[in-house]
């Protein structure tokens, strides 16, 4: 009787182990920067419904997500921002799996119902920023890729020091929007896809001459539990039929 009870216990333990493994295999882990948040929140539920997979997304900063992948943390699908040299050299992503998803531009926003400044040319942007009493954008020192892009823009315009002196740098675009919405700050800048606060109003994207759009690119990790499932997710996110959804969220489809 004892032997039979032991045998049943072993069978049950094995069944539970298989069930737990199946559950893990039905999960896809994703790591991505904050600029991808709006797209993933919109599109991942459709992929889950279509495939039965559960997608667990970790959202961080542009620089922070790169460091995690370069250091070898295990995620099935890393979504990265340019530049990608260090990521590719790490050996932790499949180079051949590189999949352009979208590009996203840095944009200017103001408090709702206030007068929109002219940002149609580099010179107009320069005048606006020099005239502004205060400016806010995500802090590049803590890994915000859009902050690095904006700093580059300021240097191209030759006004980096002047704007820095009156800037309040925050950890996220959301925190910058809160300052502008409250009237504490006059001009805000972050990625277009992040400008969602009802208390602020979009002025427009920065001119291409001074601000190149940032590309978001996905990979299958060399540590992916199920490379085929990871590939399927990338194909879904980069599918042409998602173009209108991306445009509605402030992205440009493709790479």
Rounded to whole angstroms, the Cα distance separating 135 from 117 reads 13
What are the pLDDT digits (tens) for 224-248? Answer: 999 999 999 999 999 999 999 999 9
Q: Are 91 and 62 in contact (CB under 8 A)?
A: no
Is 70 exceeded by the pLDDT of residue 3? no
Assigned CATH topology for domain 2-101+216-253 = D-Maltodextrin-Binding Protein; domain 2 (3.40.190)
Is 70 exceeded by the pLDDT of residue 6? no
- Same CATH topology for 2-101+216-253 and 106-205: the answer is yes
Q: What is the mean pLDDT of residues 179-193?
A: 97
174: left (phi over 0), alpha (psi -120 to 50) or beta: alpha
Is 50 exceeded by the pLDDT of residue 109? yes
Counting residues of the chain whose pLDDT is more than 70, the rounded percentage is: 90
Which of the four CATH numbers 3.40.1080.10, 3.40.190.10, 3.40.50.2000, 3.40.640.10 does domain 106-205 have? 3.40.190.10
Question: How big is the chain, counted in residues?
Answer: 255
Q: Domain locations in the chain?
A: 2-101+216-253, 106-205
For the question of whether the overall pTM of this predicted structure is more than 0.85, the answer is no
Q: Are 170 and 185 in contact (CB under 8 A)?
A: no
Q: What is the mean pLDDT of residues 196-201?
A: 96
Q: Which residue has the higher pLDDT, 24 or 95?
A: 95
Looking at residue 25, its pLDDT comes to: 58
Is 90 exceeded by the pLDDT of residue 5? no
205-226 burial code (b ≥16 CB/10 A, e <16)? bbbeebbebbbbbbbbbebbeb
- Tell me the two tokens of residue 104: 């996203």
Q: What is the mean pLDDT of residues 146-167?
A: 97
Beta bridge partners of 100: 217
Is 60 exceeded by the pLDDT of residue 175? yes
HEC assignment per residue over 47-113: HHHHHCCEEEEEEECHHHHHHHHHCCCCCCEEEEECCCHHHHHCCCECHHHCEEEEEECEEEEEECC
Looking at residue 255, its pLDDT comes to: 67
Residue 158, SS3?
A: coil
Is 60 exceeded by the pLDDT of residue 210? yes
**pLDDT band for position 125 (50/70/90)?**
very high
Is 80 exceeded by the pLDDT of residue 95? yes
**pLDDT band for position 2 (50/70/90)?**
very low
């Amino acid at each position: 009787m004892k032997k039979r009870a032991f045998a049943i216990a072993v069978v049950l333990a094995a069944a539970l182990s298989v069930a737990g493994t199946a559950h893990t295999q039905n999960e896809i882990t994703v790591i991505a920067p904050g600029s991808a948040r709006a797209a993933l929140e919109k599109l991942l539920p459709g992929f889950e419904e279509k495939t039965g997979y559960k997608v667990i997304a970790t959202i961080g900063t542009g620089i922070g997500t790169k460091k995690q992948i370069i250091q070898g943390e295990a995620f099935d699908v890393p979504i990265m921002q340019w530049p990608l040299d260090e990521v590719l050299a790490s050996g932790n992503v499949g180079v051949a799996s590189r999949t352009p998803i979208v590009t996203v531009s840095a944009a200017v926003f103001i408090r709702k119902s206030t007068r929109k400044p002219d940002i149609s040319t580099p010179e107009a942007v320069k005048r606006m920023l020099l005239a502004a009493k205060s400016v806010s954008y995500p802090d590049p020192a803590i890994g915000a890729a859009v902050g690095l892009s904006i700093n580059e823009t300021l240097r191209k315009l030759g006004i980096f020091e002047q704007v820095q002196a009156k800037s309040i740098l925050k950890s996220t675009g959301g925190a910058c929007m809160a300052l502008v919405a409250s009237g504490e700050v006059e001009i805000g800048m972050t990625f277009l896809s992040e400008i969602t606060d009802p208390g602020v109003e979009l002025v427009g994207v920065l001119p291409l001459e001074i601000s190149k759009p940032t590309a978001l690119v996905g990979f299958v990790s060399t540590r992916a539990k199920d490379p085929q499932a990871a590939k399927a997710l990338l194909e879904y996110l980069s599918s042409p039929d998602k173009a209108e959804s991306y445009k509605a969220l402030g992205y440009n489809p493709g790479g």
